[in-house]
Structure 1
Amino acid sequence: MSWGLDNLPYGVFSRGGEPPRVGVRYGEHILDLTASLHDEVFATGSLNPFMARGSTAWRETRALIQTKLRDDRSVTQEHLIPLDQVRLHLPFEVADYVDFYCSLEHASNLGRMFRPDEEPLKPNWRHLPVGYHGRAGTVVVSGTPVTRPHGQRGAGVFGPSAKLDIEAELGFVIGTPTALGERAGSFEDHVFGVTLVNDWSARDIQAWEYVPLGPFLGKSFATSVSPWVTPLAALPRVPGREQDPEPLDYLRRSADWGLDIEFEVTLNGDVVSRPPYSGMYWTPDQMLAHLTVNGASLRTGDLFASGTVSGAQPGQRGSLIELTWNGTEPIKLSSGETRTFLENGDTVTISARAGDISLGEVTGTVQ
């Protein structure tokens, strides 16, 4: 069962005129945690206060919820609300947002497109998880319409992006903070769970602006996330991909934090790609170590994302720029239409599964 006792993702919901509060998804219902656990931390309309309690509280609460749903159904039944009666909200308050670039295939594909006469990867790429700081204020929940951004597309050229794209990514949500100058400890003591991310990208704006300081307006207009945050405890772990050269000491893995997750990308209802997360070159524990090695602190609600998830096969690419090879190989839809980049009215949905565990979906329509 995709939404059974082994899953139990957290979200924030409201019903009618009631204020938002925290629940967990169970089947086609959401369990009202404020009412069923008699804990006001879940009445705040955000996961942040609960996440800040730390990993021991996360584990104990998850075990308590599983016990209640398994053994005390008569107690919890009145607090199980059908999903079609609720509205889902942004599940946590985003403190900071960092986007990484951790897929060898994605980085190589873009390098071949943009620098055909050079090595696809920059010299630093295999030595550290490359990343940049995004804009936390434009992270929105699934279902929020995405307005086509305007910006400079070249010298003296200003207007709406003509190359609007998506990026299928996995996001990691920080629960336990660190102090300034304190490096992060155990990965699972800081990271509460994962959420699906669509990092919308205006490729023409991005191409003109990104040298020398990296992505800016081509990325900052919108980032969509799923309404569900899946606990780390629900996810199957696998060894990370072999790395050459061997990373520096602070980036050496001490545990298996590869994740066996299969993504699916649909455009206007047609499946256009199925990227595998298990092949990512840099694993999330390495991202977190690099993020904090210089003394940067973590805050409850920080979000860091994997960068585009892409595989080795053409049908496993996690962005339209790769799927269409920069617009030279259009995608053919069942409607008879073709796409290179997104047009107004297009709807993109990214979903993912880890075995029998559903991570839900993140969707957005361009306007």
Structure 2
Amino acid sequence: MSTCDKPSSDFCTAIIANPDISVNITFSFESEIQANNGLSAQTSIQVRVALYLQTLLSMTIASLLPYHERAFRDLTRNAYIISTSLIIASLIEMKTHGLSLFDALIVTMLTTIMTAFVTVNSQLRMYTPLNHIPLAYLPQMQNLGLSISISSFLFTSFWCYWGLQVWHNPSTFGIPSDKENCTASTGTVFVVFGHNVSVTNSGLRGFALSMFAISLIGALASLYYSIGWLGDYVIIGPKAAKDKAARGYVEQLTRKVMSRFGGLAGMIYMIVTTEQIVDRNNVRDELKDWTYSQTIALILLGQQLLDCGSYWKEEIQYRQKERQQRSQDETETDIQRIQV
């Protein structure tokens, strides 16, 4: 029985790109037989594009249907779960087979992009009823229930840990401990507003470390809300706790202005920057193979399309019933006027 040896990756001198994380769109019209699994790759569609589309769909639905509590809750939870899963998978890959600094930067960018809209809308701007003066800023996560609070806590914790790991000493990240004179990490290019910046730049590194360190406060806040919701589940029961979450979301939403498409500018910037990082590190030739994770990404995108269709259907049905009820009320009012 023949065996196939998996080629080793040189993390010392070459910038290595993992197709499961950084795979890009290519249109290969030559059938290429994969040595390990016999799959034929003809049209390779990237994980990144699937994640971009999922994020834009989430933003669109949550912005156009701000009062659809279930839609916002489900989309928020999905964003947190997918981002957390990507970080955990990257941590496992780093500890077992190794992960380059380039892939680590892409993971950081993707997980930030996927949760940008949730982060922007995580604050409720409370107004006084008469003069609409901002009264306070309250976290919206506390009104979405236990599962969202736990998802938020897990994502923020892993995201902060991952970011601090990457930016603590980027020049040695992913470099084998038994290697010397390695240039793979120091040669990795990061992009800021279209300009190449070395990952060892002290200003860039200081900003990144500060951002991830400050975000730890959010992780602690999510833990606090998780404990509070867990107490509600134990004291008043799951059903009553879920009803409380739905009421709280609606009540708070009526007193604030939804940041429709909030974070879109930042998201577009991060998407463009991510693609520039891929381009300027000259790794596109390594990203042409179809991988299992690409199939998963497409399945998840298909599921989200179905969910979004379901949300729109519910909204249309609700508006139809509302119009019918309004028409019926107007008819009854007209009849009463005629009788008088």
Structure 1 and Structure 2 fold alike (TM over 0.5): no
TM-score, with structure 2 as normaliser = 0.22
Of the two structures, which has the highest relative contact order with CA contacts closer than 8 Å and spacing of 6 or more?
Answer: 2
If each structure's helix is expressed as a fraction of its own residues, which one has the higher value?
Answer: 2
TM-score, with structure 1 as normaliser = 0.21
If each structure's strand is expressed as a fraction of its own residues, which one has the higher value?
Answer: 1
